[in-house]
């Protein structure tokens, strides 16, 4: 085993709470979208099973991203994946002619805030590609 592998494995799984406001803004944005997707999925299940499954996957995707962000597995490049994931949610809503409602605005607003905060974090992350945030 290399020294890098040993060092990474010796760190705790949970790296602690992030510092600064931007990570919390991103997490709140992700949680807003998660809330909307997971709360609407059961209602959608009655009308469109495929869309309900996609809503669950979107909500779980944000929760999984938060979990990875707070773990030793996080890498700087994941910010780009997170931004693409959030923007894909917005694009999908527009392409599918999503209905404008309070829940849609909460979700899309949360995703937009999340994407901006993640972009800020990516641009201001001074760790190298192999370091844990």
> What's residue 19's pLDDT?
82
Q: What is the pLDDT of residue 123?
A: 95
Delimit the domains of the chain by residue range: 21-126
Mean pLDDT computed over 105-110: 96
127: pLDDT confidence band, cut at 50, 70 and 90? Answer: low
Residue range 2-54, pLDDT digits in tens? 455 555 567 778 877 788 899 999 999 999 999 999 999 999 889 889 999 99
On whether the CB atoms of residues 42 and 120 are closer than 8 A, the answer is no
Question: Which tens digit of pLDDT belongs to each residue from 51-103?
Answer: 999 999 999 999 999 999 999 989 999 999 999 999 999 999 999 887 899 99
- Output the pTM of the full model: 0.81
The pLDDT score that the predictor gives to residue 129 is: 45
DSSP the chain: --HHHHHHHHS-SB--PPPSSHHHHHHHHHHHHHHHHHHHHHHHHTT-HHHHHHHHHHHHHHHHHHHHHTBTT--TTHHHHHHHHHHHHHHHHHHTTPPP-HHHHHHHHHHHHHHHHHHHHHHH--S-TTS--
For residues 61 and 30, the answer to whether their CB atoms sit within 8 Å is: no
Give the pLDDT band of residue 126 (cuts 50, 70, 90): confident
């Amino acid at each position: 085993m290399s020294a890098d592998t040993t060092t990474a494995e010796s760190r705790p799984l949970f790296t602690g709470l992030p510092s600064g406001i931007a990570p919390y803004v991103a997490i709140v944005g992700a949680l807003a979208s998660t809330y909307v997707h997971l709360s609407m999925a059961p209602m959608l299940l009655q009308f469109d099973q495929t869309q309900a499954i996609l809503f669950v996957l979107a909500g779980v995707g944000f929760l999984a991203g938060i979990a990875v962000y707070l773990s030793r597995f996080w890498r700087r490049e994941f910010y780009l994946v997170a931004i693409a994931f959030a923007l894909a949610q917005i694009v999908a809503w527009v392409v599918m002619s999503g209905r404008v409602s309070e829940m849609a605005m909460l979700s899309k607003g949360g995703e937009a805030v999340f994407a901006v905060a993640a972009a800020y974090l990516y641009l201001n992350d001074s760790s190298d590609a192999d370091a844990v945030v």
